C-alpha cells in the first residue's frame, strides 16, 4: 500500500504538470472563441490541431489590432497565420483490385507516425518517443483505447517492433503524466479513456513471454493509482473523481474529466448544448466524462429525457470500465507471480476477486437478463441495455447462466444483418442504433466463444466481415463505424462526418479474417 500511496502523491504532481501545458484556448484567448464559434472551419478539431507560424503572443496581438478594422476577414487572418493539419487518409486511394489484405497491409504504413526530433513549437501535439499508429481521418494523433484493437492487427500482420513501440509509448505517457490521456494532445490532458493498457501488455507478453509483465509493472501500477486515487478516504455511497464506494463498501470506478469547461475540440457544439442549461459546468463535466468513456455520445449516458442536455455520465458506474480494471488487477497479480512474490500476487488477486463480486452484485440486471451500468442515485442497475453488457463475458465475470441469458438477448435484439447494434435506441447519436463499432463486435465474439456460444459468435463474425468487405469493394475504404441495420446506408450521427482509415476496424477485421474462418451454421 505504501507504493500505491507514493504513486498517488506522484500523480498529483504529474497532473499539475499536465495542466501547466497550455492548450489552444489558453494560447489564443479571444481568437480561439471567435474561430470556433464563428465556424471558420466546419470541424472544431481543425483549429486546435493547427500549428502557428508565429508566436501565440504575436498572433493574438495582431488579432486584437485588426479585428475591428473594416473588411477584416477572420478566416483569411487565421489561414495566413496557421498551418492546416493534413490527414493522409483523405488523399490516399486504395487499389481495390489488389484485394482487402493488400489494402490492410498498405494502411499500416499510411497510418504510421514516426516521431520527429521535436514537435513544432506551440503545437497541441504531445511528443512520443517511439513510432505509433493513428486511427485515420481527422484523428491525427494516437488514441488510447483505439490502439489496443489496432495492435491486434499489428500482431496478425507480424509487426512486433511496432507493437512494442506503441506499448512503450503508453508506458512513457504514464511516466510523464501519471495517466494515459485520451490522445496525445494538450487539450486531452484532463481525461483518460477505457484502460486497455493491461491488455496491451498481455498481448505483448503472448509474443515475448512473461518478462514483459516485469518490464511494464511500474506503468501498470501508475495506471491503477490514477484510477483509484482518493479511494481510501471514501465512505460507503460516496464518490470522488474516478472512484466510488458502493453501499456495501465495495470499490468500483466511473468515468471522469477534471475540467468543467467546453471541450476545445468540440467547443461550438458544447457551448450550443449549454444554452439555457441550469448548470453548464455540470453539463460540460458529464459531456467530457462521456468522451472519456469513448462512447461519445449514447443514450446510455442520458437521463429520462433522452437528450444530450440530460447527460449524467458521472452518476453511472460503467460495467465495461470495471471489467477492464479487473483485468488490470489480474495482470498485476500475474506480474508478481512471475517475479515469485506470492504474497503480493495474492493481494492483487484478492482485489480482482472483490471487484468481480461487486460487478456481479451491482451490474447484473436480473429483470433484463443483462449486465448494465449501476445507477448511483437510484441505487440499482440501469434499465438501458447496451453492448457494454458483453464485457463481463469477454472477461469471465458472468456466470454460465448469466452468459446464456446475454447470448439470448444478443441474438433476439442486437443481431442485425451486418453485426451487433450498439444499443436498441435510434437516437441520432453515433453510439446508438443503427451503428456498430469494431471493438464491440470483437469483444462480443470473444465473450460468446469463452462461454461456448460458438455458433452465435461465428454468425456475428461472418456478418461483420461480410459487411466490411462489401463496403471496401464498393468504396475502397474501411470505416470508423457501420450501419448494421440497413447495410446499404452509411453510419451516421456524431459531431463530424464518417471517417475512413480506420485503425480499430483494420485491426479487428484482420484478426477475424485470420481466426474466424469457420463456416456459419444456420
Q: Which residues are catalytic?
A: 296, 480
d(CA 219, CA 47): 33
- Going by C-beta distance under 8 Å and a sequence separation of 6 or more, which residues neighbour residue 89? 110, 111, 136, 137, 499, 500, 501, 502
- Sign, Cα dihedral of 139, 54, 266, 258: positive
Burial class for 93, CB neighbours closer than 10 Å (0-12, 13-18, 19+) = exposed
CA dihedral 351, 354, 359, 364 (to 10 degrees): 160
Nearest of 254, 442, 445, 250 to residue 352 by alpha carbon: 250
Element (H, E) at 129: none
Instruction: Pull the grid cell for residue 487.
Output: 447495410
Nearest of 482, 418, 406 to residue 444 by alpha carbon: 406
Query: Is-contact 376 250, C-beta < 8 A?
Result: no
Query: Is-contact 128 142, C-beta < 8 A?
Result: yes
d(CA 17, CA 179): 12
Rounded to the nearest angstrom, the gap between the alpha carbon of residue 175 and the centroid of all alpha carbons in its chain is: 20
What residues are paired with 44 via a beta bridge?
none
d(CA 457, CA 394): 12
- Going by C-beta distance under 8 Å and a sequence separation of 6 or more, which residues neighbour residue 175? 218, 219, 222
Rounded to the nearest angstrom, the gap between the alpha carbon of residue 184 and the centroid of all alpha carbons in its chain is: 13
d(CA 17, CA 11): 10
Query: Is-contact 450 393, C-beta < 8 A?
Result: yes
Instruction: Pull the grid cell for residue 31.
Output: 481568437
Query: Is-contact 38 74, C-beta < 8 A?
Result: yes
- What one-character DSSP code corresponds to residue 413? I
Nearest of 53, 194, 52 to residue 183 by alpha carbon: 194
Instruction: Pull the grid cell for residue 314.
Output: 458521472
d(CA 231, CA 222): 15
CA dihedral 446, 450, 452, 455 (to 10 degrees): 0
Amino acid at each position: 500500500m505504501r507504493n500505491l500511496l507514493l504513486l498517488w502523491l506522484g500523480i498529483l504532481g504529474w497532473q499539475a504538470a499536465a495542466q501547466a501545458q497550455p492548450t489552444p484556448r489558453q494560447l489564443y484567448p479571444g481568437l480561439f472563441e471567435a474561430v470556433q464559434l464563428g465556424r471558420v472551419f466546419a470541424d472544431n478539431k481543425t483549429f486546435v490541431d493547427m500549428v502557428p507560424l508565429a508566436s501565440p503572443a504575436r498572433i493574438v496581438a495582431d488579432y486584437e489590432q485588426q479585428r475591428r478594422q473594416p473588411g477584416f476577414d477572420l478566416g483569411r487572418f487565421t489561414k495566413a497565420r496557421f498551418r492546416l493539419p493534413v490527414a493522409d487518409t483523405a488523399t490516399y486511394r486504395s487499389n481495390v483490385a489488389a484485394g482487402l489484405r493488400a489494402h490492410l497491409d498498405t494502411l499500416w504504413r499510411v497510418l504510421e507516425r514516426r516521431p520527429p526530433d521535436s514537435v513544432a513549437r506551440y503545437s497541441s501535439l504531445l511528443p512520443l518517443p517511439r513510432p505509433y499508429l493513428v486511427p485515420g481521418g481527422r484523428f491525427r494523433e494516437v488514441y488510447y483505447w483505439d490502439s489496443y484493437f489496432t495492435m491486434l492487427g499489428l500482431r496478425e500482420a507480424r509487426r512486433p517492433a511496432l507493437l512494442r513501440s506503441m506499448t512503450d509509448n503508453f508506458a512513457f505517457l504514464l511516466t510523464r503524466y501519471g495517466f494515459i490521456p485520451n490522445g496525445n494532445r494538450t487539450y486531452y490532458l484532463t481525461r483518460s479513456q477505457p484502460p486497455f493498457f493491461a491488455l496491451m501488455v498481455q498481448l505483448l507478453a503472448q509474443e515475448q513471454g512473461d518478462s514483459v509483465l516485469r518490464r511494464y509493472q511500474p506503468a501498470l501500477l501508475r495506471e491503477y493509482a490514477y484510477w483509484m486515487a482518493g479511494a481510501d478516504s471514501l465512505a460507503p455511497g460516496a464518490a470522488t473523481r474516478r472512484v466510488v464506494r458502493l453501499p456495501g463498501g465495495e470499490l468500483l470506478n466511473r468515468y471522469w474529466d477534471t475540467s468543467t469547461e467546453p471541450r476545445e475540440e468540440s467547443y461550438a457544439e458544447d457551448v450550443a448544448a449549454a444554452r439555457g442549461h441550469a448548470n453548464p459546468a455540470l453539463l460540460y463535466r458529464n459531456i467530457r466524462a462521456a468522451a472519456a468513456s469513448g462512447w461519445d455520445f449514447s443514450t446510455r449516458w442520458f437521463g429520462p429525457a433522452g437528450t444530450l442536455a440530460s447527460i449524467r455520465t458521472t452518476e453511472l458506474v460503467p460495467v465495461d470500465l470495471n471489467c477492464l480494471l479487473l483485468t488490470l488487477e489480474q495482470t498485476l497479480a500475474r506480474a508478481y507471480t512471475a517475479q515469485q512474490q506470492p504474497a503480493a500476487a495474492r493481494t492483487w488477486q484478492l482485489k480482482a476477486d472483490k471487484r468481480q463480486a461487486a460487478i456481479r452484485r451491482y451490474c447484473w440486471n436480473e429483470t433484463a437478463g443483462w449486465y448494465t451500468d449501476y445507477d448511483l442515485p437510484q441505487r440499482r442497475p440501469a434499465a438501458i441495455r447496451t453492448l457494454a453488457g458483453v464485457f463481463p463475458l469477454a472477461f469471465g465475470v458472468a456466470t454460465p447462466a448469466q452468459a446464456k441469458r446475454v447470448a439470448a438477448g444478443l441474438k433476439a435484439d442486437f443481431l442485425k444483418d451486418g453485426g451487433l447494434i450498439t444499443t436498441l435506441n435510434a437516437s441520432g447519436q453515433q453510439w446508438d442504433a443503427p451503428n456498430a463499432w469494431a471493438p464491440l463486435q470483437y469483444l462480443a465474439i470473444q465473450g460468446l466463444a469463452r462461454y461456448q456460444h460458438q455458433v452465435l459468435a461465428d454468425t456475428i463474425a461472418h456478418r461483420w466481415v461480410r459487411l466490411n468487405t462489401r463496403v471496401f469493394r464498393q468504396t475502397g475504404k474501411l470505416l470508423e463505424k457501420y450501419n448494421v441495420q440497413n447495410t446499404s446506408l452509411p453510419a451516421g450521427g456524431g459531431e463530424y462526418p464518417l471517417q475512413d482509415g480506420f485503425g480499430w476496424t483494420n485491426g479487428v477485421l484482420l484478426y477475424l479474417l485470420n481466426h474466424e474462418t469457420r463456416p456459419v451454421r444456420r
